[in-house]
């Protein structure tokens, strides 16, 4: 095990949207290097299933919590559950997100807009405010915000989502100034990844073919492709890294 990854042994990592996709990949990666994990998503059964897998495979403690991060009270309850169980959180990954489909911009409803902003921006604000305050008062820690290339170049089918992710990147700057020097806050700006969300994109085989022609790396991302970056930002390897946005898009947004 690399010494930097070893620095995560016995640390506590909270991952929202942690039961599938990129969140699941990060939960497994943290557990593999010995971190205790808190798996949060709206579906408790999915969180519990992954928690059991984590404990069976890696022998680390795992806590499953049902939480809709778009709801303020759920964020508070999630943080309470984490600190009641472990007494601390060393790594917070604001990964939960959603981008709802709409037929045209003039048909975006207030309910759709509010839901997208709540999950992608309001939840990360509340969780970072609560956990970051506790981190700063204790031994410090790392907050990792999972953003999207839509934050800087949103398509017409993802304008509310892009606005929310742009706000999330602003939170990175605000919170690092609020909670430094002991709390580091960084962003991973993701491109196209093959997750459950990608099923809504249409024919993935056609998307793969376009990626071969247009992407410098010739493919879209797989969930495991986020692991190295997440481990770096969570661990002591990034001890002098804060306020950074790492583009993880295969070179596609250049």
Residues that are catalytic: 148, 161, 165
Does the N-terminal peptide bond of residue 181 adopt cis geometry, omega within 30 degrees of 0? yes
Q: Put the strands of the sheet holding 36-41 in their side by side order.
A: 62-66, 36-41, 12-16, 91-94, 141-148, 183-190, 245-248
Q: What's the number of CA atoms in the CB half-sphere (13 Å) around residue 178?
A: 17
Biggest alpha carbon–alpha carbon distance for the chain: 52
> Can you tell me the distance from the alpha carbon of 193 to that of 35, in angstroms, rounded to the nearest whole number?
25
Enter the tokens of residue 51: 């928690």
């Amino acid at each position: 095990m690399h010494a930097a990854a070893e620095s995560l042994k016995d640390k506590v990592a909270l991952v929202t949207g942690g039961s599938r996709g990129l969140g699941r990949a990060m939960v497994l990666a943290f557990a593999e290097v010995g971190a205790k994990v808190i798996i949060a998503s709206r579906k408790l059964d999915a969180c519990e299933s992954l928690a059991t897998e984590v404990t069976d495979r890696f022998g680390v403690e795992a806590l499953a919590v049902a939480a809709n991060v778009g709801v303020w009270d759920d964020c508070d309850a999630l943080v309470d559950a984490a600190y009641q169980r472990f007494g601390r959180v060393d790594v917070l990954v604001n990964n939960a997100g959603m981008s709802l489909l709409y037929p045209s911009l003039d048909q975006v409803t207030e309910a759709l807009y509010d839901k997208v902003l709540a999950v992608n921006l309001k939840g990360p604000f509340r969780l970072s405010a609560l956990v970051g305050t506790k981190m700063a008062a204790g031994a410090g820690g790392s907050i990792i915000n999972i953003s999207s290339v839509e934050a800087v170049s949103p398509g017409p089918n993802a304008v509310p989502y892009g606005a929310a992710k742009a706000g999330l990147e602003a939170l990175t700057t605000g919170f690092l100034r609020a909670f430094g020097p002991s709390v580091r806050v960084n962003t991973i700006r993701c491109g196209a990844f093959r997750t459950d969300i990608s099923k809504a994109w249409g024919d993935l085989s056609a998307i793969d073919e376009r990626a071969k022609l247009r992407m410098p790396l010739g493919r879209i991302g797989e969930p495991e492709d986020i692991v190295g970056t997440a481990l770096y930002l969570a661990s002591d390897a990034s001890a002098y890294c804060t306020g950074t946005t790492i583009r993880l898009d295969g070179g596609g947004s250049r």
